[in-house]
Structure 1
Amino acid sequence: MAGSLAAAPSSAVAFGTVDGGSQNREHERITRAAVACSAMPRPAGGCFEPVSMDQLAGRGSGFGAVGSPDSTEVSDPAAHCDDADHLVGGYPRTLGEATTSLRDCVTHLRRRFAEAVDGAADLLDDEGRVVGAEVDLDADCELGPTEMRAKCTALEAFGRALHGVQDFYSHSNWTDVADPTRPIGAENPPGLSRPAPSSLLDLRGSGIPTVPRGLTTGCFVLPDRVTGVRVCERRVTHAALNKDTGTIDQRTGRAADPTTPRGEVGDNFARAVAGAVIETRHQWQELRTALRSAYGAERASLLACALTHDDPVSECAQRNQATSSGRVPAVAVVLVLLGALAASALLLRLRRRGAA
């Protein structure tokens, strides 16, 4: 994908973004299984058509919007919900420190989500019509500050938010279970076995999220090892807790063949993927709700259409007409009234002829 290619990280720090190095484009496949028009079942409330989906999810060697944090934010723990680790009893990091790290992640993702809502406004002109230059995808999106098209910048911001919420399910113990054959500790933290979507990931909100007791993510540093090194020594590590890699069906979200230690415990990898798919669909619904709150129902419907359709100038034309300063509905009403008057006049003439 033009402008969105980058060297793969030296070690997987999230669901995979590329093919190779044990990664299998897991972020792309999760995103497609969640919101692509080819997903089974198809997501309610609108789905992303193929070219628009490519910009959001990536394709081939392209990172896409959802993979962009692995290019430019690879060392930012807030972008991946890392370093929010804690265990009860003699742990080298306090619960307060872990809670702060997790809230930093939520704050970061809220900012990305808000950027998507704000950026979407430029998809329409003042009269509520889709702006062709802002939605044109003849050339792939250039992820980063050089990109000027509103559709690309809104999708990038939303993709960055999706990356973080997907990582939350891989990098935390929210959905998973511990290995029952080993003692609980830094190399085998307890699992919470909770469902998605997570109440923590309220990206439309502004309140301080409540962190449940026992929640932990992993400490990340290179080299990433189950037994922590350097700042991660004696801590729950990303290597010990992540469920980043395996095979995922991009239509159904079915997950199999996990390749990480925690992912291989029970069905932990499948749990993490299922949670990420559900959360991605939930955040798409949340984005549409946020657009309605910011711009009203009619403009929000057009904005969602412009984000998801490959030729929104044509494909969203009927919605364009319905929201274009009310002119088309007014013309329609006038035509109906004129037709009714003509019919009445004709009926009156026929009655007079009959009376004569």
Structure 2
Amino acid sequence: MGLALTLGCAGEAETAEALEESAEEFSTAPGEANHEEITSTALSFLKPAVLTALKTGNVSTDALLALSNAAHFDDCNFSGGAAFVAAKQAEAVRALGPSVLLPDGDAAAMLAFGHSLHALQDFYSHTNWVELGGDVLVDQSLTAFPALTPYSVIPSTGFIVVQGAKPRQTAVARDADAPYPEYAVVTVRKRRTTAYGLVSGTVDYEPGNYCPAPVAMTHEELNKDKTTVSGRTEQHLAAKSLAIRQTRHEWCRLNQLAHDAWGDAGTERLAAWVADPSAAPDCTTE
């Protein structure tokens, strides 16, 4: 899908209107457009045309990459999801290079960045991060999004990434007969150490399932995508809050990556996307 983009005043209204029409085609939840709302709330300081382009790129992920579990952090494919985020943000940074002319470069950057935001927003609603008590971001660095390798420890919480065959002398478990949210609590025991295990829901139409059978849950059993999912309103709101915070932080990451790659020219390119600098995040603290 191509995105036309005008950052100046002339034609901005027409561009925003056209992009909104494109975005409607990819609305992820008619009547409850959560990806759009999360992005708008987190990045409200951006110009309307830019914000619309990012939302279009975000929600188009469900149509363009519907069969990619990495693009949605499904099927316990955490290594794939992390690599997807890092690759899409690297793609955005390349498009911001001085040799890539406007408007094509910015449009490509917004599309790629929007894809990365979709995946990270899905991370909180498709995994058991919230059910395990996770109330901090999965990553708050300003370097490239880190690898999430199978059975590694996530520094911010101590959760273990459960993906694929478990290592020797390691056991994974959950109480499948417990009520929600208790049935979503996974533990990983290695020798005499026990920690919480991070998993995500399985989706049967997406190729590749990396969730160990003893702790596997379907997407329907675990997702917190909407307020209408019965009995999960509290967890939905918690996941949504974390997704807003992560999305806002990703703006800081993108700025740092662009500066690392292109110096002041990179950050100046992104500054042109901003409508209200006073409302932008302080990237030294967020």
With the shorter chain as reference, the TM-score category is 0.5 to 0.7
User: In structure 1, which of residues 102, 105, 112 is the aligned counterpart of residue 81 of structure 2?
Assistant: 105
1:120 alignment counterpart: 96
The CA deviation string for residues 222-257 of structure 1, in whole angstroms up to 9 with x for no partner, is 69xxxxxxxx99930111111101xxxxxxxxxxxx
Cα deviation, residue 173, structure 1: 1.1
Residues 155-182 of structure 1: CA deviation (Å, up to 9, x unaligned): 00000000000000000111x2xxxxxx
Q: Deviations over 1:94-122 (max 9, x none)?
A: xxxxxxx2111111111111101111114
1:53 aligns with 2:22: no
Contact kept, 8 Å, 2:143 with 2:257, in 1: the verdict is no
- Tell whether the 8 Å contact from 2:83 to 2:147 is kept in structure 1 after alignment: no
Q: Which amino acid aligns with 2:82?
A: V
- Kept in 1: contact 2:82–2:147 (CA 8 A): no
Matched with 1:237 is 218
- Taking structure 2 as the reference length, the TM-score comes to 0.65
Q: Deviations over 1:172-231 (max 9, x none)?
A: 111x2xxxxxxxxxxxxxx211123213998705555534231111001269xxxxxxxx
Structure 2 unmatched ranges of 5 or more: 1-17, 154-158, 161-196, 207-212, 277-286
Shift of the alpha carbon at 1:19? 1.6
The verdict on how the C-alpha distance between 1:200 and 1:108 changes in structure 2, with shifts beyond 3 A counting, is: farther
* C-alpha separation in 2, matches of 1:25 and 1:279: 18
The answer to whether the 8 A contact 2:142-2:252 is kept is no
Letter in 2 for 1:220: V
Other-structure match for 1:160: 115
1:136-215 equivalence runs, <5 A: 149-174=104-129, 176=130, 191-199=131-139, 204-205=144-145, 207=147, 209=149, 210-211=152-153, 212-213=159-160, 214-215=197-198
Q: Which residue of 1 aligns with 2:203?
A: 220
Q: Distance in 2 between matches of 1:272 and 1:202?
A: 22
Report if the CA contact (8 A) 1:171-1:218 is conserved: yes
SS of the residue corresponding to residue 294 of structure 1 reads: helix
* CA RMSD after TM alignment: 3.0
Counterparts of 1:205 and 1:273, CA distance in 2: 20
- The alpha carbon displacement at 1:52 in A equals 1.3
Match of 1:302 in 2: 268
Distance 1:221 1:233 in 2: 17
Other structure's SS at 1:19 match: coil
Q: 1:78 to 1:222 in 2, by over 3 A?
A: closer
In 2, Cα distance between equivalents of 1:112 and 1:238: 24
Q: Verify the 8 A CA contact 2:23 2:59 in the aligned structure 1.
A: no
**Secondary structure in 1 aligned to 2:111?**
helix
- What's the secondary structure of 1:166's corresponding residue? helix
Is 1:263 equivalent to 2:263 in the alignment?
no
Q: Is the 8 A contact 1:4 1:68 kept in 2?
A: no
- Report what 1:12 is aligned to: none
User: 1-side partners of 2:143 and 2:33: how far apart?
Assistant: 25
CA distance in 1, matches of 2:82, 2:147: 10
Percent of residue pairs bearing the same amino acid type: 28
Change (3 A) 1:208 1:272: closer
Once residues 66 and 214 of structure 2 are traced to their aligned partners in structure 1, the CA distance between those partners, rounded to angstroms, is 21
Please tell me whether residue 32 in structure 1 is matched to residue 40 in structure 2: yes
Secondary structure at the aligned position of 2:66 is classed as: coil
Matched with 2:57 is: 65
- In structure 2, relative to structure 1, the CA distance for the partners of 1:202 and 1:300 (3 Å cut) is closer
Kept in 1: contact 2:141–2:253 (CA 8 A): no
Q: 1:69 to 1:262 in 2, by over 3 A?
A: farther
Alpha carbons of structure 1 residues 304 and 66: separation in structure 2 relative to 1, 3 Å: same
8 Å Cα contact 2:85/2:145 also seen in 1: no
Cα distance in structure 2, aligned partners of 1:244 and 1:53:
21
Q: Which has the larger radius of gyration?
A: 1
Structure 2 Cα separation of the partners of residues 291 and 302 of structure 1: 9
Number of residues paired by the alignment?
Answer: 210
Helix, strand or coil at the partner of 1:307: coil
1:172–1:242 CA contact under 8 A, matched in 2: yes
User: Residues 276-355 of structure 1: matches in 2 within 5 Å?
Assistant: 276-296=243-263, 298-308=264-274
Residue 18 of structure 1 and its aligned partner are, at CA, apart by 4.3
Distance 1:202 1:172, change over 3 A: farther
Q: Which amino acid aligns with 2:251?
A: W
Displacement over 2 Å in runs of 4+: 1-8, 199-203, 205-213, 232-235, 261-264, 306-310
Q: Residues of 2 paired with 1:219 and 1:239: CA distance? A: 8
